[in-house]
Amino acid sequence: MRANTWAGRNKVEVRDVPDPKILNSRDAIVRITSTAICGSDLHLVDGYVPTMQDGDVMGHEFMGEVIEVGSRVPGDKLRVGDRVVVPFPIACGACAACAKELYSCCENTNPNAGIAEKMFGHPVAGIFGYSHLTGGFAGGQAQYARVPFADVGPLKIESDLTDEQVLFLSDILPTGYMGAEMCDIQPSDVVAVWGAGPVGQFAMDSARVLGAAKVIAIDKEPYRLRMAEQAGHIPVNFDEVDVRSRLLELTGGRGPDKCIDAVGLEATHGSAHIAAYDRVKQAVRSETERPHALRQAIMSCRSGGVVSVIGVYGGLLDKFPAGAWMNRSLTLRTGQCHVQRYMRPLLERIERGEIDPTRIITHRLPLDEAERGFELFKNKEDNCEKVVLKS
């Protein structure tokens, strides 16, 4: 089959790779009809997530048709011919974490748990196409994928919704929604979102759906800010204004009630010397993150507010404003998204027309042009916000 693979730092390559096979009686094989390039894929390509190997199949946002199921997958859960969206965390459904719906913390699905434990203190769940730190599972930027624990993860799509309407239930829509949900939004709240990429856009939409009075989008790319503004959110360009000062103006001097970091470890900063400081430290590996958005969210949030972190972080960061966090009674909430918890409720919101996931799609390419898709997305060429690949 054809698949998009990691080929070294700053390089991906579409190659012929072996077709997946059933390895466990709870597996399924899915013929992929749609997949996507995620912002967190860029962390792999840029070399900031360890344990990638040449030839690893990338991608964790995918959906398609079930073509084979293992002997222990119950027929009422999944059958050949079912159309499914596959969540990016692989969850067993039976451990203590899964019992609490903390699916991205599943205790049983990462065969390389020892590596993750050294990195994070405790192991994390297996993830499709996201390094051997999270299990080394082949990803979904391919024609076919093996789906472990297929009786737990995939969501059947039984309506006539298009792939593009439901594809993002695999990751970025639940991730954005969880970021807003962790804020405990009240009707009077002003919510500021750092990052107007795909996850940030969905965090903004989710904050609106959950009742925020005002949602502010913070980014530097004019096309992303226009997209957010067209959806009803207030744009702030950090290349043009001091973010904290502008947020104080927009909130009567108090700061946003809730702040969401939808950027993560490769953030940029409007001040050249501050941006250079963290870029150099990251380049020489004296820190693994550039936490500009996280620092700014903590310093900007009103006292007693909530900072929700859904941007990906992988290791260690410098100059974390612990004093502001502790002394101003801020609540910090975070986590890889527990996608399975949110898939069906969000599907119902899509069916009711409350959220339109298709609004962020700017580019559609065949799988064999995945390399071009990565170039567009990474370099923000042609106003690229989201690339969907068709296999």
Q: Where does the pLDDT of residue 314 fall: very low under 50, low under 70, confident under 90, or very high at 90 and above?
A: confident
Averaged pLDDT score across all residues of the chain: 95
Q: Where does the pLDDT of residue 185 fall: very low under 50, low under 70, confident under 90, or very high at 90 and above?
A: very high
Query: Using one digit for the tens of pLDDT, what is the confidence trace for 233-264?
Result: 999 999 999 999 999 999 999 999 999 999 99
Q: Where does the pLDDT of residue 216 fall: very low under 50, low under 70, confident under 90, or very high at 90 and above?
A: very high
Asked whether the predicted pLDDT for residue 29 surpasses 90, the reply is yes
Domain assignments of the chain as residue spans, ordered by start = 2-171+337-390, 173-334
CA dihedral angle for residue 362, residue 367, residue 371, residue 377, rounded to 10 degrees: 20
| Topology (CATH) of 173-334 | Rossmann fold (3.40.50)
Q: What is the pTM of this model?
A: 0.96
- pLDDT recorded at residue 287: 81
CATH H-level, domain 2-171+337-390: superfamily? Medium-chain alcohol dehydrogenases, catalytic domain (3.90.180.10)
Mean pLDDT across 31-57: 94
What is the C-alpha separation between 82 and 19, in angstroms, rounded?
Answer: 20
